[in-house]
Structure 1
Amino acid sequence: MVHPNPPAQGWMPSRRHLIASAGAALAAPWIGAQAQGRIAGGKPITLVVSYPPGGGADLMARTIAPKLEAALGQTVVVENKAGASGQLAASHVARAAADGSVLLLDASSFAVNPSLFPRLPYDTATAFTPLAVLATFPNVLVCTPSFEAKDVKDVIRLAKAKPLNYASSGNGSAQHLAGALFEQRAGVDLTHVAYRGGGPAMNDVMGGQVPLFFANVASSLGHIKAGKLRPLAVTSRLRARSLPDVPTMAEAGVSGYEVLEWNPILAPAGLPADAKATLVAGIRKALDDAEVLGRIRQLGGDVFADASQQSAGQFIAAQQALWAKVIRDRNITTG
């Protein structure tokens, strides 16, 4: 290439020019490596959340987004696409470019929907690349404070004599499925009372209209501490940090029972291996942050047990199989 302003004949480069040229030559490979390691060439990453602002999935997205942004060195934007029990957001991400620039942050309904809905606008098993499960959150079986059952064994005894009512936030909701699994594992029949949302359901349990509710720990904790709800058992295999005196279902006499709410992050199918590795490493770094860990524990949860995230895909598949059986055996529909 001919220099537009060639140096005069006999020109010799200065020391400053030589140093600058050497520095540029050394920096070039590093800059190239950085560019190659960035997702989608460094353009902003959109974290598509399947539920509205203020919910559990949204809280997780806004907790992790700034830490993921710092870990990856590029902008991470949270975008809510609520609707159809998460199907709207999942469908959008399934159709997105498989370069890691559009990711799905969903809830445990991701594993329920394939069995709950006769047809989805995507194939759950093939349309996504699982990257991580961020955290798991137990539910807690609560009752009206004046309810005659003092523990889970009392609930089972009463239910065997006459079906007890339990509230949920709607047909096919996490609370509904928690009750259905309880029926299956405890060998009892309960009467499901569906509400339009967890708030109205919880209010009626506090008011005594319905005695039982499989509540989210984070949303019910304040009411439990205020004495407006009485906890009977948590639905995880280990006791919840926020409710250390409340037994697990296994401790309360119901073996083989575990219900967790959780938040996965998934990319479209076909994501290149190097992009997947970069994203997984970034998510792991974000989850290691003390602020993120503290927030998750404040909400009553724990970071996903497998820090490497190698088992995230298997966990999602196992959850899908669990709820498929419960939905089929209990003939659960959205209607």
Structure 2
Amino acid sequence: MPAIPRRAALAALSAALAAPRVARAQAWPSRPVRLVVPYAPGGGTDIFVRAMSDGLAQALGQTVLVENRPGANGAIGSEAVARAEPDGYLLLVDTGSHVMNSYVMPNVPYQPLRDFSPVALLSRYPLLLTASGHAPFRDVQGLVAAAKAAPRTIGFGTSDAAISYAGNLFTRLVGVEMVEIPYRGAAPILNDLVAGHLPTAWNSTVAAAQHLAAGRIRALGVTTATRTPLLPDVPTLQEAGVTGYDFAGWYAMLGPAGLPAAVAGRLHAAVLRALEDPRTRERLTGIGADLGVLAPAELASFLREDDARWVRASRDGLITRAQ
């Protein structure tokens, strides 16, 4: 029998090794898919993912389970996904803190761009400067005046790196000294805000929507350059006198590095089908989600741009690495 050329032998070996992965990708999903939310239950990310999960399950034809793995500004849940088998059965839904953590946390145990596979940008959303119903100020001007009259006596709650950036950018632009109070998630922030234990906080529209509707807290301003249709009477921070303020949060779905392109593509298609369901779409838009979905390649570009933003913010002193 003639010898097989070395190049042909290597090609055959490569094909043989890839065949099981291809077969698994073609059979996917054959069991429940788990979505990791790296924050506490009841926060904006948790609310968003649970609102989407039923529609996604119908689109995939499999059960979709939501798992909360909070801690370390989202790093605990993110690391679990980064270390998982890239088979499409354990995925991450995270916020802008996913990329930002590399610039604000020491020794993050993964690299946000290298160790994950982009699947879909799910939503952008404005953040809100909110105040307790027990607080004496009813607008941004009142808050700024109170903070200038009594520096470092007014606290603001934050729950992740991106929301921390939103709060600290505000204090810098208006020239006041306030005290940042970090929480493990949006739900405990809102509990303290409603009870009057915390005077102000920064929240996503998703997390704050039900409390605003019930009149338990007040929205002083939105962080984007235009108002949100969900709260048309709430001014932007720029309109309230904070010149140059423009910042939005986002939710994205990611898998471990090495996730087969076929699986990522099917997940993206399933997200689009889920959002075609009127009940799912109504549920998500009702909590302030802006459902501008990006495909895997588009999300990869988006994440690189976001990374460049935090490089500039770190260089300019707008964010600092914790010790």
Return the TM-score normalized by structure 2: 0.76
Distance 1:66 1:107 in 2: 20
The residue aligned with 1:233 is 221
Alpha-carbon deviation of 1:307?
Answer: 5.4
Q: What letter matches 1:193 in structure 2? A: E
| Compared CA separation, residues 38 and 292, structure 1 to 2 (3 A) | farther
SS in 1 for 2:88: coil
Q: Residues 165 and 318 of structure 2 are in contact (CA less than 8 Å); yes or no, is this contact kept in structure 1?
A: no
Rg larger in structure:
1
What's the CA shift for 1:182?
Answer: 1.6
- Paired position in structure 1 for 2:305: 318
Match in the other structure for 1:192: 179
The 8 Å contact of residues 39 and 101 in structure 1, kept in 2 or not, is answered as no
* 1:277 alignment counterpart: 265
Deviations 1:271-330 (A, max 9, x none): 232222222111121122222211112222221x24556532333333344345445614
Cα separation, 2, equivalents of 1:200 and 1:44: 30
Aligned with 1:104: secondary structure? strand
Please show how residues 324-335 of structure 1 align to structure 2 within 5 Å.
324-326=311-313, 329-330=317-318, 332-334=320-322
Offset of residue 246 of structure 1: 0.8
Q: Distance in 2 between matches of 1:96 and 1:44?
A: 15
Structure 1: how far apart are the matches of 2:182 and 2:265?
42
TM-aligned CA deviation for residue 214 of structure 1: 2.2
Describe the shift of the 1:270–1:148 C-alpha distance in structure 2 as closer, same or farther (beyond 3 A).
same
**Corresponding residue for residue 245 of structure 2:** 257
Determine if the alignment matches structure 1 residue 168 to structure 2 residue 157. yes
Does the CA contact (< 8 Å) of 1:38 and 1:72 recur in 2?
no
Tell me how far apart the structure 2 counterparts of residues 38 and 152 of structure 1 sit (CA, whole Å).
54
Letter in 2 for 1:167: F
Q: Deviations over 1:218-265 (max 9, x none)?
A: 444454455554332111233223311111123333344233333211
The share of aligned pairs that are identical, in percent, is 34
Q: TM-score, normalised by structure 1?
A: 0.73
Change (3 A) 1:189 1:326: farther
Quickly say closer, same or farther: Cα 1:116–1:232, change in 2 above 3 A. same
Give the CA RMSD over aligned residues. 3.3
Structure 1: unaligned runs, 5 residues or longer: 1-34
CA contact (8 A) 1:134 1:287 kept: no
Amino acid at match of 2:178: T
Q: Relative to structure 1, is the Cα distance of residues 79 and 331 closer, same or farther in structure 2, using a 3 angstrom cutoff?
A: closer
Q: Matched residues in 2 for 1:105 and 1:200: separation?
A: 20
Kindly provide the amino acid, as one letter, of the partner of residue 89 in structure 1: G
Give the deviation of 1:151 after TM superposition. 4.1
Q: 2:171 matched to 1:183?
A: yes
Among candidates 121, 124, 129, match of residue 117 of structure 2: 129
> Per-residue deviation at 1:116?
1.5
Partners in 1 of 2:212 and 2:29 — Cα distance? 49
**Is 1:213 the equivalent of 2:201?**
yes
Contact 1:166/1:179 (<8 A) preserved: no
The answer to whether the 8 A contact 1:47-1:103 is kept is yes
How many residues end up aligned between the 2 structures?
298
Q: In structure 2, what is the Cα distance between the partners aligned to 1:232 and 1:161?
A: 19
